[in-house]
Structures are given as C-alpha cells and as structure tokens.
Structure 1
Amino acid sequence: MVDDTYYITPHEAALAVVATAMKKSRLPFYILFINSIMGAFLFSAGSMLYVMCEAGSADLIPGANIFVYLAQGAVYAIGLFYVIVCGMELFNSNILFFSVGVMRGAVTLMDLVISWMVSFWVNLAGTVFVVYVICYCSGVFRQDVYVVGSISIAHSRNSFSFAENLLKGVAGNFFVCLAVYLQIMVKPLHVKFLMIFLPIFTFVAMGFTHVVADMFLVPAGIFNDCGYGFGHYFWKIMLPGAIGNIIGGSFFGIVIPWFLHLYVIEHDMKKLKLPSYEERDEQPMLNMESRVVRV
C-alpha cells in the first residue's frame, strides 16, 4: 500500500508554493546569486542533450523530424529535475512562486522584482559561460555535426516574429510552471521526475519557448556563426520570450494555485462552514532546509 505521506493535496501544494516564495525572498544576496549560477549550470544539461539530438538528425530522411522533436522533448526534463532536486534558482520557476506569493500577500512586489531580475541575469551569465567555456572552447560544439545542429536551432528560433515568440513563451512557461507545481505534490524522486517529465516533454516537443533554455541554444549557434549576433537575439528572441514566459507563468500561478487551490477552497470552507483541518503545507527542501510556514 502506498503511504499517503508521500503525496500532498493541491491545496497543500499551493501553500507550499507560498512558503517557498517566502523562503526565497529571505535568501541573502550571495546565496541567491550562487543558487542562480548553479541553476544555470544544472539546467544546461537538458540543453546539451537537446543540441545533441539536433546534431544527430542530419542523416534522417526528410519528414522524419518528428522523431527528433520527440527525442528532444524526452531528454529536456533532465535539467529541470536537477534544478528542483538541488533547490537551485531558475527564472521561470520563480515566476510561479512569486506570482502566487504576491497574490497571497506573503511577499512584496519588491521581493518579486529582486528575485526575477537576479535569477534572470545570473541564469543568463551562467548559461553563456557553460555554452562558451564548457561546450565551445572544449571543442565539443566545434565538431561538424554540432556546428550544423546548433546553427539549425538558432535559425529555427529566428524564423518566428516577435509576436509569435511571445505567444510561444506564454505556452512554454505555462507548461514549465505546471511541471514545477505537480512535482511539489509528490515526494519520491522517481515520481517527481515523472511529474516534471510529462509537461516538459509536451512543451519541448511542440517547440514552445523557454527563455532560459534559449540562453543556451541560441548562443551556441551564435558562437558557431549562425548569421546574427547577440543584439539581434536580445530584441528578436529573448525579449518576447521573457515577456511571454512572465505572462504564461503568472497566469498559471494566479489562476490555479492561488485562485482555485487557495482562494476558492478557503472561501468555500468558510461559506459552507466546513470543519477545518491541518494542512501539511511543507516547504519543498531548499538548500537542505525545510520548515513549515503558515500564511
């Protein structure tokens, strides 16, 4: 029989999101900085495998790209799994935590701005470091197949308009926040991975946008002379992707965890005079520290 202490309800998961936002808002700056750097390093693992799948697809027959997309979707969840299990900072998941935390009144708008700004720019710096130093300078991404694969990805990202990249970003981070939220409800690591895998597989295979993922994939093509530079990337790809990710992640966080799983449930409990119960609103382990915060 499965022990129900391995799982929590959606209401408890929503409380855990709030508690996590509170913990993150109280991190010293140097811890936030280090977490964001390491988050970029760990998340890059999925991006490396994504490029590998693209590089290995050169000999496929025309029309077989669907299998490449499925393979890329299958491998990409690894990076997010590493980030979550190790408790590191990722801009996209912080959109979920702080949008819910602000709506709950547990953290301030300034806390949100600080977390988003620091995690975004430090994720960018850490990811570009991995691309250039670890992948490019090591010679791995200078191999012919990786050159072709990275340039193909960069051209693909550049083939969409500003508005299209924004809409892809909305969908992309909706699924990422769904993955982060689902894994909070479970404790066994293998089940956490499954909860992360399903939404990530969907959004990657469909080609939606994740701004931190593109921080790896597009510079990989730029370093291999894809035909445009960082300025074009910032304005054409990164900016709409980031805006779309903020919209999609905030929409998910406000509608599902905050409104449906906190506000509606607690409103119904009061309206119907239901008996109260003790929620197990445990904060997911962050830097090997876990505590209960009730808001």
Structure 2
Amino acid sequence: MATHTPKEVIDKVAGIGAAKADLSSGRNGTYARFALLTILAGVYIAFGGVLSVILGFGFPEITAANPAMQKLLSGAAFPIGLILVVVLGAELFTGNNAMLMPSWLMKRCSAWDIIVNWTLVYLGNFVGALLFVYLLVYLTGLLNPEPYHSSIIAVAQAKVSLPWLTAFLRGIGANWCVCLAIWLALSAKSSGAKMFGCWLPVMAFVVLGYEHSVANMFFIPAAMLEGAGITVSQMIVDNLIPVTLGNIIGGALFVGCVHAYLHLDPKK
C-alpha cells in the first residue's frame, strides 16, 4: 500500500494548519463556513457516540459474560465519527490540537492564532454535539429503551466520577490515539486507506477507556437528558476541564510537536 513519507506528512500538516489558522482568524473572510465546519465535526463525533452505545450495549447477555466484548463493539462503531471528520473535512478541536503545532513551529501562524482556533472550534464542536443530542437522539427516543437508557446514564456517571488526575491522563491517551489516527489518514493515498488509518487508533482508545472531550460533549448531555443526576457544573469541572487539558497535551505535545521535531526540515 503506497503511503506518504513521515516528512511529506509533516509538510502537509504544516500547510493545513496554516490554512486552519487563517480560516478561524477571519483572514480569508469565511467565518460562516468556519462555524459550519466546527458544528459539523461535533455532529459527526456525536453520531459515532450514539452508534457506539447502540452497538456496544445492545447485547447485554453476551457482554455480561464477556465484558471485553462491549468495549470491542463500542470501539468498532465509534470511529465513524472521526472518519467523517477526516474524509469530509471538518474542524475538530482535538485534531487541531496537533495540526496547528507544526505551522506554529515554522512561524506560519502565531500562538494567538492557535488560541483563537482552539477556542472557537471547541465551542462549535460543543454546539454541534448538543444539537445532535437533542434533535436526533433525545427527541427521537433512540436511548429511551433498555438497555440503552441505563447504559448511557452509567457511562456518563462513571465519567464525572473519575478522579481529576485520572481524567486528565485518560485525556492524554485519547487524543494521542486520535491524532495518530489523523496522521495515518494523512499518510494514506486512497479514501479506503484513510478510513482504515482512522479506525484502528480510535478503536484502541475506546477499548482502553480513554477520555475524549468532544465525545463527552455527547455522552454526558445525552445522559442528562435521560434523567442522570448530573449537573452542568459536574460535567464541566469534573470531566470536560481535565479531559480537555489532557487532550491538548496528547495532541499538541505528543503528536504535533514530537513529529515536527522528528521530521520537519530544521532549515525551514
């Protein structure tokens, strides 16, 4: 299978990251397009989230005797979200954690550009996830029947009950996997290879139980609408803040900076 070399990938990422910074800064005057791309990414990840619940928790008799089977089924379903983001082109916060770092190191965007991009993309992803949760999950009753109702509540309660450090470290692991998936997709030369490259690392983070901030923008609000005794404050303070910080470290440092150091031409 033909692939781009690591150096070709990092050069491509540097160009993409600079374009993302221009888009979010308004330098090319396309705020409406940018906003839609951020919302769509949240929708796509939420779509993968609900599919992972339906498939992963839909066989209680089997998974009760084989606990790893639930993780495997959920992990197999969830990557559709990132596949849609990568193949169709959308603005995902966790992916941008890594994508903008090579551009910054090459002085093709500023630190302020990164802060603006991450902030606006994060908010847009949240809007997209919430819209999907309310309109296409809650109002359609997808999670009303058992075992989905109790399962989504249990998943969300477990997420907000994690110790802060645990949530932070799991956030690092999740976005390390997600950004490696994006790197693999960028190294591929065909759509099928891009999809496969996305699928394996994302499946791994789900099976391992790592924490992804944008995914949790689906899981926790969905459980809240199903009656989970979780407050907005709990969602933000006990999960989203530590997980988001971990995601930034996992993507920006462990993928973006590390691969830039390894493969960028130091003369550039």
TM-score range, shorter chain: over 0.9
Q: What is the TM-score normalised by the length of structure 1?
A: 0.84
Alignment match of 1:13 (pick from 9, 15, 35): 9
Give 2:44's aligned residue: 42
Question: Per the alignment, do residues 72 and 78 of structure 1 end up closer, same or farther by CA in structure 2, a change over 3 Å counting?
Answer: same
Give 1:282's aligned residue: none
Equivalent position amino acid for 2:113 in 1: D
Structure 1's unaligned 5+ residue stretches are 271-294
Question: Per the alignment, do residues 61 and 70 of structure 1 end up closer, same or farther by CA in structure 2, a change over 3 Å counting?
Answer: closer
Question: Per the alignment, do residues 130 and 254 of structure 1 end up closer, same or farther by CA in structure 2, a change over 3 Å counting?
Answer: closer
Give 1:56's aligned residue: 58
Q: What is the TM-score normalised by the length of structure 2?
A: 0.93
CA distance in 1: counterparts of 2:161 and 2:51, whole angstroms: 22
Q: In the TM superposition, what is the alpha-carbon distance from 1:81 to its structure 2 partner?
A: 0.5
Give 1:166's aligned residue: 168
State the SS of the aligned residue for 2:229. coil
Structure 2's unaligned 5+ residue stretches are 24-29
How many equivalent residue pairs?
262
Alignment match of 1:26 (pick from 14, 17, 22): 22
Q: Please give the per-residue CA displacement for 1:231-263, whole angstroms capped at 9, x wherever unaligned.
A: 11100000000000001111123443210011x
Q: Please give the per-residue CA displacement for 1:55-104, whole angstroms capped at 9, x wherever unaligned.
A: 31433464521100011111111110011111111000010111221122
Q: Following superposition, which runs of at least 4 residues in structure 1 exceed 6 angstroms of deviation?
A: none
Percent identity of equivalent pairs: 27
Given that 2:7 and 2:263 are in contact with CA atoms closer than 8 Å, whether structure 1 keeps it comes out as yes
| Larger gyration radius, structure 1 or structure 2 | 1
Bigger drift between 26-35 and 253-262 goes to 253-262
Bigger drift between 248-257 and 70-79 goes to 248-257
State the SS of the aligned residue for 2:12. helix
CA distance in 2: counterparts of 1:115 and 1:30, whole angstroms: 14
Give 1:208's aligned residue: 210
RMSD: 1.6
Given that 1:51 and 1:217 are in contact with CA atoms closer than 8 Å, whether structure 2 keeps it comes out as no
Give 1:231's aligned residue: 233
Equivalent position amino acid for 1:261 in 2: H
State the SS of the aligned residue for 2:123. helix
Equivalent position amino acid for 1:97 in 2: M
Give 1:104's aligned residue: 106
CA distance in 1: counterparts of 2:79 and 2:254, whole angstroms: 19
